[in-house]
């Protein structure tokens, strides 16, 4: 019987796991021998016993040596790749532009890698879209972090001692994370304004009860798959000028703007931060890709010009139970495209979703953009 292995994540701070007891049971139903490393789900509050109850085998890391299918959240380290059997299938987040060394190691071992962060954004792949599911968690947690650091209350309150106005929130970027941040801030009673380079975002922002910040001369910058295209310096300048007026009055700013494969656009400079009220808060969700705010520091909460700037990384991992449940369902939906009933692992990967996220296969790098980066790296 082909085996699927779910290891315990080793990246510091990572508390998610790639399979929940619910999805492990469904992997078993496909005909796979499901093996879970002891303690893999502990941080997400899934006990070894809960996996064993649905037919999972609890084992040590050594079991990865025999696994035909490996499910992960974070990309494996070079040492972990070395322990994986040649020719196996790996399903994991990879972010290849940041881990070219891992890509090369996976290619060298002829591992077939299906990168969850490369899932094409098409209708039939929505159930597999891990970037969206995890961005939902990040957007929610960003507002809670902002509220926790603010020296003010969020909602409008009318009390015998006087009226407290609602906190003012500005959200940069109305993608999945931004829309969830808007919805969460509205639920807390905040007055919310948002900006985005995609015209389609305007209607979505308004539907959540927030105001959309219009930028003079706006052009639609929506690219393939619904991602935002990189904006011109001139547009970003106009956007900063228009949004700066709102930022100066904001109690909380949440930045979510990112462009796949590129550094995050710089939307808030030092001058904009210094214009904010003392005690205001910025939560920079793009800090891992360079940050939307010039003063953000990766993995830290700092105070600059009287403004608290939250640059904590990997926010989905701080909500591990639900983040894991969502990610595990994304993984299961993808696995069902190439594992047939009876546990047969098909390796053609011709389906458009599989082909779109196939990073390495049969000793080759199949993802064109990653291959180009490797070629450029080798030419230096």
Whether 214 is a known active-site residue: answer no
Q: Exactly one of 132, 180, 289, 324 is catalytic; name it.
A: 132
Q: What is the Cα–Cα distance from 252 to 170, expressed in whole angstroms?
A: 6
Q: Which of 121, 202, 266, 336 is catalytic?
A: 121
* Residue 361, H or E segment: strand 358-361
Active-site residue, from 33, 129, 196, 284: 129
CB atoms within 10 A of CB 215: 20
- Is-catalytic flag, 15? no
Residue 39 sits at φ, ψ, to 5 deg, of 85, 0
**Residues 6 or more apart whose Cβ sits within 8 Å of residue 35:** 3, 4, 5, 6, 56, 57, 58, 59, 63, 67
Which of 157, 151, 156, 158 lies closest to 166 in space, CA to CA? Answer: 156
In the beta sheet, which residues pair with residue 339? 345
- Asked if 254 contacts 285 with a C-beta cutoff of 8 angstroms, the reply is yes
Return the DSSP state at 222.
B
Query: Per the structure block, which two tokens stand in for 197?
Result: 């380079």
From 38, 47, 66, 126, active-site residue: 126
The rounded distance, in Å, linking the Cα atoms of 369 and 234 is 27
Q: Which of 28, 48, 97, 227 is catalytic?
A: 227
Specify whether 351 is catalytic: no
Contact present, 281 and 307 (Cβ < 8 Å): yes
Secondary structure of residue 373 in the 3-state scheme? helix
Phi, psi of 145 (to 5 degrees): -65, -45
Q: Is 140 a catalytic residue?
A: no
Cα separation, 186 vs 155, whole angstroms: 9
Structure tokens at 141: 């947690």
Q: Return the residue matching tokens 């949004």.
A: 243
133 is a catalytic site residue:
no
Q: Are 295 and 309 in contact (CB under 8 A)?
A: yes
Q: List active site positions.
A: 121, 126, 129, 132, 227
């Amino acid at each position: 019987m082909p085996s699927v292995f779910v290891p315990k994540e080793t990246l510091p701070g990572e508390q998610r796991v790639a399979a929940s007891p619910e999805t492990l049971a469904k992997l078993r139903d496909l005909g796979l021998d499901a093996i879970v490393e002891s303690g893999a789900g502990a941080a997400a509050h899934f006990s070894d016993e809960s996996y064993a109850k649905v037919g999972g085998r609890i084992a040590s890391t050594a079991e990865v040596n025999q696994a035909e299918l490996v499910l992960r959240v974070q990309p494996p380290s070079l040492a972990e790749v070395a322990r994986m059997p040649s020719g196996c299938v790996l399903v994991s987040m990879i972010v290849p532009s940041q881990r070219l060394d891992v890509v090369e190691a996976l290619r060298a071992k002829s591992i077939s890698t299906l990168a969850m962060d490369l899932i094409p954004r098409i209708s039939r792949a929505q159930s597999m879209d891990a970037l969206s599911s995890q961005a939902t968690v990040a957007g929610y947690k960003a507002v809670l972090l902002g509220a926790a650091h603010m020296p003010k209350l969020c909602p409008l309150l009318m009390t015998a001692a006087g009226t407290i106005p609602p906190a003012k929130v500005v959200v940069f970027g109305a993608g999945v994370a931004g829309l969830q941040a808007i919805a969460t801030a509205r639920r807390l009673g905040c007055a919310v304004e948002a900006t985005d380079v995609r015209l389609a975002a305007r209607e979505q922002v308004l539907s959540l009860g927030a105001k959309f910040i219009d930028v003079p001369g706006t052009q639609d910058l929506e690219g393939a798959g619904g991602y935002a295209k990189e904006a011109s310096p001139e547009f970003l300048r106009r956007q900063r000028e228009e949004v700066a007026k709102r930022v100066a009055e904001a109690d909380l700013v949440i930045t979510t703007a990112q462009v796949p494969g590129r550094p995050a656009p710089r939307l808030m400079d030092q001058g904009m931060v210094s214009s904010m009220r003392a005690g205001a808060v910025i939560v920079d969700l793009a800090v891992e890709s360079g940050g939307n705010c010039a003063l953000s520091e990766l993995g830290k909460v700092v105070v600059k010009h009287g403004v608290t700037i939250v640059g904590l990384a990997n926010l989905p991992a701080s909500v591990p139970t639900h983040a894991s449940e969502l990610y595990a369902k994304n993984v299961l939906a993808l696995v069902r495209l190439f594992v047939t009933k009876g546990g047969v692992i098909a390796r053609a990967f011709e389906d458009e979703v599989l082909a779109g996220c196939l990073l390495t296969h049969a000793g080759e790098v199949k993802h064109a953009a990653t291959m180009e980066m490797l070629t450029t790296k080798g030419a230096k």
